[in-house]
Homo-oligomer: A and B are copies of this chain.
Amino acid sequence: MSHNTFGHLFRVTTWGESHGPALGCVVDGCPPGIRFKLSDIQRDLDRRRPGQSRFVTQRREPDEVKILSGVVMDADGETLITTGTPVSMMIENVDQRSKDYGDIARQYRPGHADYAYDQKYGIRDYRGGGRSSARETAARVAAGALARLVVPGVSVRGALVAMGEKEIDRANWNWNFVEDAENPFFTPDPASVPLFSDYLDRIRKAGSSVGAVIEIVAEGVPVGLGAPLYAKLDQDIASNLMSINAVKGVEIGEGFAAARLTGEQNADEMRMGNDGKPVFLSNHAGGILGGISTGQPIVARFAVKPTSSILTPRKSIDTSGHDVDVMTKGRHDPCVGIRAVPIGEAMVACAIADHYLRHRGQVGSRAVEQ
């Protein structure tokens, strides 16, 4: 990654702040001939959109995506076809609620990037967090929706597996429930909804916040994507996930738990299946061995810290070097990790699309089409 561009062949450049006129991304290197509808992109954006339950920020944004380049309309007047040139997507900012930013302009909010920004750049767009706003992730989700279409047969799904001190029961895992209209948390465990609801209501009413752990699973990824070192598929997934705001940790497969296992426990044994294809007997590796996909599901997790936008005053300093106590007013997310689920999916989808094209470039059609 360099600057605000990521990916090597499937390259995404994002731009935009919370309180400018718009934000967006340019997806460059997309294969030509991919057919999709605008609603395929919009659907993912709607999943990320704020204001859909009392547990997420009440900012009202339609998050309507416009595609400005890189596609032609098919004769049906509805299907878009990529041409192989850069796909520019834009999302306008609508709800820039008028607000007195005086304090935030002058005070460094603890746990935010305010102080580091000012020290780095000597200038800072403090409105709504500027470039660090969670709104920026809409551009990622739009790019990811396109990335999903690059590799035939791939599915990338995510779920929230822990919220603060509460965890799901993996025995209840139900992918269908994740997208259920009654599920405000992207949890795969129906039994966790009341648990999380009570817990988060308490947090929310206290003006506090908690973190979360998200798990992303990619199925149907062809064997052979990635590289032994430096362009490892797991490395690029980790890099993509760590580029999301508030993420403090990333794991593949067993992750940190692998450090506590023995070699016997951790090795994924293999046997030939009845259909003459190799079968793995476990997936501790999370679908990646030596940096290269094995054909098993790819499993990644990331930890999102609690937002520091809380109602309890915290000690800090201001731009003039005076001690102050800072309290964040206005709408806030008690658990920003909830909306990170579609974002994590998008970032993993982008990594997979990029490595699919890279693999096809270096090795040719043999491997990816076998």
Contacts and interface: CB of A to CB of B under 8 A. Distances in A.
B362 A259 contact: no
Interface stretch (A28-36, A48-56, A175-183): A28-36
A62 interface: no
A8 to B, nearest CB: 5
Interface residues of A, number: 156
Contacts of A253: 248
Contacts of A309: 263
Contact of A21 (B66, B115, B249, B362): B66
Contacts of A264: 208, 310, 312, 314
Contacts of A115: 270, 278, 289, 294
A15 B66 CA distance: 14
A187 interface: no
Given A84-B363, A278-B317, A314-B269, A254 B305 contact: yes
A116 B258 contact: no
29 contacts: A2-B231, A3-B28, A4-B85, A13-B13, A15-B70, A31-B364, A83-B125, A84-B362, A110-B270, A111-B268, A113-B292, A120-B224, A120-B225, A121-B363, A121-B367, A164-B262, A165-B260, A235-B243, A249-B251, A251-B256, A251-B303, A257-B303, A259-B304, A259-B337, A264-B312, A267-B310, A357-B361, A357-B362, A361-B362
